[in-house]
Structures are given as C-alpha cells and as structure tokens.
Amino acid sequence: MDNTITYREAVREAIRKAMSEDERVFLMGEDVGNYGGSYAVSRGLLDEFGRERIIDTPLSESAFTGAGIGAAMNGMRPIVEIMTVNFSLLALDQIINNAGSLLHMSGGQFNVPLVIRMATGVGNQLGAQHSHSLEGWLSYIVGVKVLTPATVQDAYDMIGLALSDPDPVLVFENSLLYNSKGSLDTKSTPIPIGKALVHRPGKDITILTYGINLFKALEAAETLAKDGIDAEVIDLRSLRPLDDETIMKSVAKTHRVVIVDDGWKSGSISAEIMARINEQAFYELDAPMARVCTLEVPLPYAKHLEDAAIVQVDKIIEMAKKVMVQS
Amino acid sequence: MELDLTKAKEFYSKMLLIRRFEERCVEFYSKQKIRGFLHLYIGEEAIAVGIMSALTPEDAVLATYREHGQALAKGVSANSIMAELFGKQEGTSRGRGGSMHLFDANTRFYGGTAIVAGGLPLAVGMALADKMMKRNRVTVCMFGDGAVAEGEFHESLNLAALWNLPVLFVCENNRYAMGTALNLTESETDIYKKAASYKINSKQVDGMSVIEVAKAASRAVEDIKDGKGPVFLECLTYRFRAHSMFDAELYREKVEVEEWKEKGPLVVFQKRLEEMGLWSEMDVKELEDEIKNTMDEAVEFAENGTLEPIEDLEKFVYSEVSNG
C-alpha cells in the first residue's frame, strides 16, 4: 500500500482523526471553513464536521486566540489556526499573558489545553510582512511548548501530541513544506514533545536545525561527505523544551557545531543553543561554534536579495568547512 | 425582583463585607503586609453584589485587577483572598497571583486578569464552550471603561454577537481609565451605545443602586439562558479611592469625590430601605459585628498562613501530568 502523502495531508489527517475521536476538539481560524484553509490544510473538513466545529473567524487574532484559551479552560480541546506567524503578533498578549501564565498565576488551578497552529517560513518572495520565522522568538515564552514539524510523520504526530498535552502548544508548520511528500506510519508511537532526533549520524561535526532547514542541512551533509566530512544532522523538533541531552551527546561525539536557523541572529534560538552548549559542554568543543541564520534585514521581495538573505545549502557547507579548518 | 427584609439584609451585608474587607486592605497595605499593586473597589460595591445575585454557582465570572469585590460576591472566601494578599500558599492562587490575580475553581471565579480587556476574549471562549457542549450556563465578564479603548473589546463583542454566545458583559464605568477621564479618551462616552452597534442587547444602569443592577442582571441572565445571546450592561459608578495605592490622584478635584460619596451605594441603599420602612428592621450593629468577626478571622488566617516553599517555585509552569 502506498502510504506516501503530503505534509499538508498529514496535518489534515491528524486533525480529522482527533476530531473523530474527541467531540471536544474543534478548529477555529481565518478562512478555515468555506475557503478550506489559506494553505488548504482544512479543505473538506467543513463538509465532514459542520460549521459548529470548523469555525470561520473574523480577522481578530487576539479575540479568537483568547477565545481558544477560554474554551480550553472550560473543557474543550480547541485548535486555533493563525494564518501566518506574522499575524500571531496581534495575539501575543493572549499567548503570553494568558495562555502561558494562567496555570502558574492561578496556583495550578487552571491549565490551558490549547493547540495553536501557525504557518511560518521565509521565502517565496512574500516580502517583509508575510515571510518570517518567529518560532524561535515565540519559544522564549514560558508556559507554552513550541513544536516545529519538518517531516510528514511529525506533521501528523505532533498534532496528536499537542492535543493530548494539558498545556498550550504552538505548532509551526513551514508553509514551504506543505507540498513536500513523505511516508506516514499512523500506527507508530510518536516521539514525545521535547525530544530531538538524529536524522543522519556523523562523527565530525554536528549540524543542529529544525523545520525546513533540516532538508537543506541533509543536502549539505551529503556534499560534505564527498569532501570527507562526516556531519551529524539533528532535527531539534521541539524548541521549547529543547532537548539538551541529545544536543550535548552529539557535541561530545563530534566536538564541532553549526546551528542552522531561519531566525535573525540576534536573540535567536541559535543564540540560546550556543549559550547552552557553552554552559554544559564547553570543554567538549574543538572549535568555536558557528551558525547560519537569516541576515538581519526585513525580508526583501526581489528574488536575488531574498536568496542572499536566507539560509542556503552552500552557506551551510561553507560554514561547516570553516569550523573544520578552525579545529 | 422582590425586595424583602432577607434580600435587603443580604445585599447590604455583602456590600458592607466588601467595604470592610477593602478598608482592612488599606490598613495592612500601610503596615506593608500587603504589597504590590492594590486597586480598591470602594464605591463600586453595588455592581458586584447586584450582578452576582443573579448567578448560580455554575455560572462563571472573569474579572479585572480590581476584583476583590467580585470575588467576595461570587463566594470566594475572605480568608483565602486575604491570605493571597499576604502572599501565603493558603491564598486563592498560592501566593503566586496577589491582588490582581485571584482565581478560584470551586466558585468558578476565573481571575483576576491585569491586562485591560484581556479577559474579554477568554469570556467569549468560555461561553463558546458552554454553547458547544449545550450547558445552560452564563459567563460574566467584568471590565472597566478603560477596556473600551482596546481592540480586544471590539473583537470580542463582535464574536459574542456573531456567534450568539451566552455571555454577560459588565462594564464598570467609573469614569477614569487610571488617571484619564473618559471624555479625554473616547469619542462616544455612552459605552452601551458601542455594544449596541454590534447588535448586542445593551443597557445603561445606575451602578450605585444595587437594586437597579440586580434587576438588570437577573433580566439579562434570564434572556441569556433563554438563548437570546449576549447582553451588555454599562454600570455607571465612581471609585472613591485612587486608582491604586501608588496614585497621587492629581487628575480630579476632591470636591468631585465628595459629591460622589454622597451618592455611594451603601448610602443610597440605606435611603431606599428607609423609604420602604425596612431600614428600621435591620440590625446594622449585628451585621457590622458579624463582618468584623469575619475580617478578624481572615486576617488571622492570612497571618498564620504559610509561605510556599522555594523548592516549589517552578511548579505550575507546566502541568504535572504531561506527555512532554
């Protein structure tokens, strides 16, 4: 049986499964119903589950995200879709001051079992207000969990994991991955939240990444292998909590690190990871840690400028070689 | 709503309880037993008591940072509120919330939120959940006139009306958003008109009259439970004290405050009861004594409360039963 499906279909199947199994699960967001989802993730779900559970919202990110929190506090398992991560900034008050804080400031009385899905990613010439990766930045928030599925399997598994978690979980789906294909095993046990995955074992250098850059890193690793450099590629999967154990184990093995991150350098998740390695595994390092990030500009429209601003396979290769030479 | 001696006693004693509780707060704030921001409700008691009189224990309440009165009126114990203010683990939020973040699952009191208008979307979601699960309950959302300037106010009202949700919005219009008068911040100062523009059944009420508030609230709750959708009540009121204990109150004249004190909820209610011939039958001394005892007990409970161990500081950031 051919079980190869797209990332988009994997997310949709996970939502469909959750909604079929639990009447408390519903989907709410802009264009999720009649339009079928701005990235066509929810296409067909309105016909299947009806208007009461596939809810089109007005352009009111703060209110419908807050409504998701309220519904979660009152016994439901809402999935809120925010069209792109850029729009999540309008809902930051609700995400930080309510979703992330309620359990603690209520002395443990009110947890928020809410899932917020957002499309993220740089590229496609969308310009400075529709083309950013802010998930590293959102992973700064305590009280929420941050997942970044890269593979079809994780796109499916992480929706289920997020829904069964008692706390608010932000799931970042890279919009450039929606058409990517992969095989899906719906019967396998999902790798838990907070666990990174070694995608390609290697002994010379560790490349830490997540989301779409996993594939760029794997491609870079193949080229590096031809030059005799054996790179270990790790998919972080979860930015909060970060899997320190897997990271440090790999550093202890390869002694060299490159972090690949779609965020801007300053204050990014790559900066956090560097700090942690410095705190926990400094003496394992044979060379200064390095990183490949998005240049510190609002994303430009013109293709050549955009390409120059974002992570590319050759930049990863170049950086890895530089680290190898330094050690 | 029939006002007999029992009801009169209940209303008066609840308003008095809130008043005396807050006077104790002032006392212990100056003794530095209570710290942080402290926003007092003195002058606005009729609203909390009037609104809560229309609710059953199954109905939920979300409030702002000026919520001691709402919490007491909803039935949260004075002991646990005082303990919270003293930062003790016997408090409503184990000392993690303080004055601005009272929470009590037992009485369905959902805060205590200190971001103006931040509770409105939550109330919409709570009501949405009740509607989806076909539970005949009301969610009450209390907020001040300052919240009206926030986008979340408008977004939430639109959603509540659009989805015909069982939510009661209660705007406590005390005429000042912190230190700025309403007419300096709003082009339309009749707030109920804004709600009406979202096709919400909305009304302006004398927030100094517990009877008027209670009447309006019980009618509203009845309509909401009949499936008629959200109701909006704008309760006109005034706070007699400063915005918070840090407020030097430079923005209004003392004479204005004094004028309003003569229209205060306890004074007004007493006059009304005198007219009805019920006041003479009330044993106010007995009520005062009873409340004094309650307050003494609350203070003692708070004083004797224990501090959360530092080892537990990082608890409740995430739920303990987690698959993460």
Q: Catalytic residue among A9, A130, A135, A173, which? A: A130
Query: Do A47 and A108 reside in the same domain of the chain?
Result: yes
Among A97, A18, A96, which Cα is nearest to A53's? A18
Considering CB atoms only, which of A73, A167, A238 is closest to B319?
A: A167
Query: Do A212 and A108 reside in the same domain of the chain?
Result: no
**C-alpha torsion angle, residues B53, B58, B59, B63 (rounded to 10):** 90
Considering CB atoms only, which of B103, B158, B318 is closest to A60?
A: B158
| pLDDT tens-digit readout, B151-171 | 999 999 999 999 999 999 999
Query: Do A56 and A129 reside in the same domain of the chain?
Result: yes
| pLDDT tens-digit readout, B117-153 | 999 999 999 999 999 999 999 999 999 999 999 999 9
Q: Looking at residue A19, which CATH number applies to its domain?
A: 3.40.50.970
Residues in B closer than 8 angstroms to A102, CB to CB, are 111
The answer to whether position A165 is within a domain reads yes
The answer to whether position A45 is within a domain reads yes
User: Rounded to whole angstroms, how far apart are CA atoms B264 and B120?
Assistant: 28
Please report the number of interchain residue pairs, chain A to chain B, with beta-carbon separation below 8 angstroms: 160
Query: Do A112 and A240 reside in the same domain of the chain?
Result: no
Query: Do A142 and A255 reside in the same domain of the chain?
Result: no
The answer to whether position A97 is within a domain reads yes
| pLDDT tens-digit readout, B279-314 | 999 999 999 999 999 999 999 999 999 999 999 999
The answer to whether position A317 is within a domain reads yes
Query: Do A115 and A15 reside in the same domain of the chain?
Result: yes
Query: Do A18 and A109 reside in the same domain of the chain?
Result: yes
Number of domains in chain A: 2
Considering CB atoms only, which of B94, B123, B162 is closest to A70?
A: B123
Whether A104 sits among the annotated catalytic residues: the reply is no
Query: Do A263 and A137 reside in the same domain of the chain?
Result: no
Domain residue spans of chain B: 5-292
Query: Do A151 and A42 reside in the same domain of the chain?
Result: yes
The answer to whether position A125 is within a domain reads yes
SS3 A119: strand
- CA triple B208-B211-B217, angle to 5 deg: 95
Query: Do A211 and A90 reside in the same domain of the chain?
Result: no
Instruction: Judge: B156–A63 Cβ closer than 8 Å, yes or no.
Output: yes
3.90.1300.10, 3.40.50.970, 3.40.50.980, 3.30.565.10: CATH of B5-292: 3.40.50.970
Cβ(B100)–Cβ(B37) below 8 Å = yes
Q: What is the mean pLDDT of residues A240-260?
A: 98
Q: What is the mean pLDDT of residues A142-165?
A: 98
Range of the domain at A153: 4-183
The answer to whether position A191 is within a domain reads no
Q: What is the mean pLDDT of residues B233-248?
A: 92
| pLDDT tens-digit readout, B31-55 | 999 999 999 999 999 999 999 999 9
Percentage of residues in chain B with pLDDT exceeding 70?
99
Instruction: Judge: B122–A193 Cβ closer than 8 Å, yes or no.
Output: no
B105 touches chain A (CB under 8 A): yes
Residue A31 scores a pLDDT above 80 = yes
Query: Do A178 and A207 reside in the same domain of the chain?
Result: no
| pLDDT tens-digit readout, A175-188 | 999 999 999 999 99
Distance from the Cα of A308 to chain B's closest Cα (Å) equals: 37
- Where does a domain end: A139, A159, A183? A183
According to the 3-state scheme, what is the secondary structure of chain B?
CCCCHHHHHHHHHHHHHHHHHHHHHHHHHHCCCCCCCCCCCCCCHHHHHHHHCCCCCCCEEEECCCCHHHHHHHCCCHHHHHHHHCCCCCCCCCCCCCCCCCCECCCCEEEECCCCCCHHHHHHHHHHHHHHCCCCCCEEEEEEHHHHHCHHHHHHHHHHHHCCCCEEEEEEECCEECCEEHHHCCCCCCHHHHHHCCCCEEEEEECCCHHHHHHHHHHHHHHHHCCCCCEEEEEECCCCCCCCCCCCCCCCCHHHHHHHHCCCHHHHHHHHHHHHCCHHHCCHHHHHHHHHHHHHHHHHHHHCCCCCCHHHCCCCCCCCCCCC
Whether A61 sits among the annotated catalytic residues: the reply is yes
User: Rounded to whole angstroms, how far apart are CA atoms A29 and A196?
Assistant: 29
- Where does a domain end: A155, A183, A211? A183
The answer to whether position A19 is within a domain reads yes
Query: Do A41 and A153 reside in the same domain of the chain?
Result: yes
